Chains A and B, each alone.
Chain A
Amino acid sequence: MKTSKGAIFLPGDSLPIPPGYKVIGSFSEVRGKHVICTTITLVSIKGTTIKLVPLKGVYIPNVGDKVIGIAKHISVDHCIFDINSPYPAILQINGFPTKSQSRIDMREQFTVGTVIYGEVKGKFGPYISLTLQGPELGILSKGFVLEISPVKIPRFVGKRGSMINMIKDMLKCNILVGMNGRVWIESDEYEIIKIIREVIDKIERESHVSGLTDRVKNLIAARLKELGVSK
């Protein structure tokens, strides 16, 4: 089996798994000695690893995922959030980040449209249950949220955070990533938000072509130059 730089597979396309090879990646099914893609997938082979990176796919919540939610229904003891998933999320009082939880009226804490950074704890009936207890978690009362395909989040973050750290350093602003395809930018400067929006568009379009980090770096540098910001 030859080493490939990356080929795009469509739903139903299969690839034989040679003995001793392993397959990593989501949105696929292994049938006998074949792996079958179920979504549009970038397939690459490195050594004895077959790597499947979905280029399209919906967000499926996993325990421990940090997500950005938008409040859509509030009652005394819980709040329902849209987390860009087929299943809505619920925050109950025991997930609220204060000690005196018995006094809390959720209606005083949230309104429709409130944005939060929460962590997926598990399932609660038909809901995904969230917590706001933890570092960085809580209500986001300033900044801006941009959207990106959930399957592109790993590219936006990069290997060990290489991409996101580069973006943060170059633009000098904090960014929080929701695995559900939402990115929060701690900045009210519209120019910064516009640059990050352009970066996201580039990642959406070009994530299947190698050399992405360099292209993003060049893009940000060019935009900063236009703004007259010296590095």
Chain B
Amino acid sequence: MISPSDMYGMSFLKRRAMLKLLAKGTRLDGREFHEYRPVKINIGVVEKASGSAEVSIGNTVVIAGVKWDIGEPFPDTPDEGVLVTMAEFLPTSASFIEPGPPDEHAIELARVTDRGIRHAPLIDLKKLCLIPGKKVLTVFVDIYSENYDGNLFDAASRAAVASILTCKIPSFKVGEDENIEVDEEQLKPMPIVKVPISVTLVNIGDYILVDPTFEEEQVSDVRLTFTFTEDDKICAIQKGGPGGISEDLLMEAVDIAFKVSKEQRKLLMGAVKNAQKENDT
């Protein structure tokens, strides 16, 4: 749980230096405006999860895991599996984060990640139906932040997507009396449709900064998250922050985000491919 009163503002001098540097065209950590921090994707870190990944973007670290269960479908989608996405800020993440049930920030994080995955769509939920209207596979994607230095949205999305892409689920057979037989020997990958890549940027004054640090988020007016699929479509957008953004800057932001999503997609797919190769050998 984040209590804003504990997030006492950054020092005046740091804010001043940041704004001065932006006018010169660089950022406090020396990055260019549209430059992402180094990304590390570690796949398969939790053997007990069906799929898992730990992703770091600079000092931000997020871990995600996938578990499955057999459950009932929603009445309006009787022939589709169920996707449940949860996010929690672990109190290890920063001194001002207190343990407790997910607050509005964690719920927003889970919902934005979920939206990217659901609307890409990443998972072919129809293939997770066992008995229409009665029994379907429920997929739980649980996301935890371990260390918080800005841009949790992209870290959460990347960790969740990497976990799902490398997830292994058992084979299911519907037996007599609608009993479900689970064959843990016959593992198969999750049915995938399209892969969503989110890119988060912030707006400070007239500048647009890709992949903001915690300090940049604190100073920013507007935070934007765009999620793209590989066929060059947008599948989710989320605006945050206390300010508004001009139409021109908004259109500039979406173009920048689109460009950055291409490099980030390469990075993610490279890590996924490596993990799959290691798994096969």
Nearest chain B CB to A175's CB is how many angstroms away? 14
Residue B17 interfacial (CB < 8 Å): yes
Q: Which of B10, B16, B30 has the most CB of A within 10 A?
A: B16
> How far, in whole Å, are A225 and B124 apart by their CA atoms in the complex?
59
Whether B30 pairs with A113 at a CB distance below 8 angstroms is no
Chain B interface residue count, CB cutoff 8 Å, equals 15
Q: For chain A, what secondary structure do more than half of its interface residues adopt (helix, strand, loop), or is it mixed?
A: mixed
Contact of A113 among B11, B17, B20, B21 (CB under 8 A): B11
Contacts of A141 in B (CB 8 A): 12
Whether B30 pairs with A115 at a CB distance below 8 angstroms is no
- Given A188-B20, A190-B21, A194-B30, verify A142-B9 contact (CB < 8 Å): no
Residue B233 interfacial (CB < 8 Å): no
- Given A188-B20, A194-B30, verify A142-B13 contact (CB < 8 Å): yes
Tell me the B5-30 residues at the A interface (CB within 8 Å): 8-17, 20-21, 24, 26, 30
Contacts of A144 in B (CB 8 A): 13-14, 17
> How far, in whole Å, are A93 and B220 apart by their CA atoms in the complex?
34
- Given A188-B20, A190-B21, verify A145-B8 contact (CB < 8 Å): no
Residue A70 interfacial (CB < 8 Å): yes
Contacts of B16 in A (CB 8 A): 142
Residue A82 interfacial (CB < 8 Å): yes
Contacts of A121 in B (CB 8 A): none
Interchain residue pairs with CB less than 8 A apart (10): A70-B8, A72-B9, A111-B12, A113-B11, A142-B13, A142-B16, A145-B11, A145-B13, A188-B20, A193-B17
Query: B residues near A, CB below 8 A?
Result: 8-17, 20-21, 24, 26, 30
